[in-house]
Amino acid sequence: MSQAINIFRKELKDYFLSPIAYIVICIFLLVTGWFFYATFFYYSQASMRNFFNLLPIIFSFVIPAVTMRLFSEELHAGSYEMLLTLPVRLGDVIIGKFLAGVAFVAIMLVPTLSYAVCISFIGDLDWGPIIGGYTGAILLGGAFCAVGIFASSMTRNQIIAFIVGMVICFTLTLIDKMLFFFPASMVEVVGYLGAGFHFENISKGIIDTRDIVYFFSVIFIALYGSHLVLQEKR
């Protein structure tokens, strides 16, 4: 486990060595800030519901961009070979990189706390949905990071990793809004698979174990999938 922490430290530091981290954070804040405040004053409600409603869609393309390099870059440059011949387990490598991705998402979310603070000055803000929303955002971010890592482990091309990751994340986000395409017998199952559905539950401030189990299942399945893919390469 200490090896996972070493990898985590290195990967997180790596993010902030290159300008990409700052660009991604800026784009994220611009897009969320614009869409949130553009409609905020029409509703004259002191809540961040609109912000959290947007989050799954925005995460669907921002997070694959954050995670696309984690394995693809190493596979492309060959540094993966040097990494794996150090005394580390493959599992430690995957967990370390996953945690670095989640930490990056958390750092990206920190500036948005200022929205909550601003709103609390101008209205009577209910903090329950805010806490739930951020908890959900981290869980959703974790699930999408795991999916992004899975996409990244499959190819040495970062663009392909990004597109594959984005397609899977968008599918998870939108599938519960496309239920009218499915036969009635499948509606419930497919609806349960949607990340958007579970995220909405949590962001209402209701923390239900079923939703938490869902996110941890996605994380586990995607990371285990990466492990299988990378093990197969040996």
Partner 1 sequence: MIHVEKLTKYYGNLCAVDQIDLDISKGEITGLLGPNGAGKTTTMRMITGYLLPTSGDINIKDLSTQDDMLAIKRLIGYLPESAPLYHNMLVFDYLDYVARVRGISGQARMARIQELADLCGLNDIMHKAIGELSKGLKQRVGLAHAMMNDPEILVLDEPTSGLDPNQIVEIRDIIRRIGKEKTIILSTHILSEAEATCDRIVIIDHGCIVADGSTEALKKASGQEKTIDISLVNADIDSVRARLGSIVGITDMEQIASTSADELRIRLCASGNDDIRRPVYQAIKETDWILVEFSQEGKSLEKIFRELTKEQ
Q: Which of 38, 43, 81, 113 binds partner 1 (CB under 8 A)?
A: 81
Q: Nearest-CA neighbor of 141 among 190, 103, 191?
A: 103
Q: Which of 1, 39, 42, 87 binds partner 1 (CB under 8 A)?
A: 87
Dihedral sign computed on CA atoms, order 27, 30, 33, 36: negative
Q: Nearest-CA neighbor of 123 among 49, 53, 51, 47?
A: 47
Query: Which one of 41-49, 54-62, 73-81, 188-196 is the stretch in contact with partner 1 (CB under 8 A)?
Result: 73-81
Query: Which one of 8-16, 106-114, 115-123, 131-139 is the stretch in contact with partner 1 (CB under 8 A)?
Result: 8-16
Would you count residue 228 as binding partner 1 (CB under 8 A)? no
User: How near is the Cβ of 201 to partner 1 at its closest, in Å?
Assistant: 40
CB 121 within 8 A of CB 42: no
Q: Nearest-CA neighbor of 104 among 204, 28, 208?
A: 28
Would you count residue 78 as binding partner 1 (CB under 8 A)? yes
Q: Which of 24, 54, 84, 163 binds partner 1 (CB under 8 A)?
A: 84
Query: Which one of 83-91, 112-120, 128-136, 193-201 is the stretch in contact with partner 1 (CB under 8 A)?
Result: 83-91
Q: Structure tokens of 193?
A: 């698979």
Considering the complex, state which of residue 13 and residue 177 has its C-beta at the smaller distance from partner 1.
13
- Find the helix packing angle between 2-17 and 90-109, rounded to 10°: 50
User: How near is the Cβ of 221 to partner 1 at its closest, in Å?
Assistant: 24
Site string for partner 1, 89-118 (x = CB under 8 A): x-----------------------------
Q: What is the dihedral of CA 141, 143, 147, 152, to 10 degrees?
A: 50
Q: Tell me the residue length of the chain.
A: 234
Q: Which of 39, 44, 85, 209 binds partner 1 (CB under 8 A)?
A: 85
Would you count residue 22 as binding partner 1 (CB under 8 A)? no
Q: Which of 46, 88, 107, 163 binds partner 1 (CB under 8 A)?
A: 88
Please spell the DSSP secondary structure of 24-70, one letter per residue: HHHHHHHHHHHHHHHHHHHHT----HHHHHHHHHHHHHHHHHHHTHH
Query: Which one of 82-90, 105-113, 174-182, 206-214 is the stretch in contact with partner 1 (CB under 8 A)?
Result: 82-90
Q: What is the dihedral of CA 200, 175, 62, 8, to 10 degrees?
A: 80
Report the C-alpha gap between 68 and 139 in whole angstroms.
19
Would you count residue 208 as binding partner 1 (CB under 8 A)? no
CB 218 within 8 A of CB 194: no
Would you count residue 23 as binding partner 1 (CB under 8 A)? no
Binding site for partner 1 (CB under 8 A): 3, 6-7, 9-10, 13-14, 17-18, 77-79, 81-82, 84-89, 234
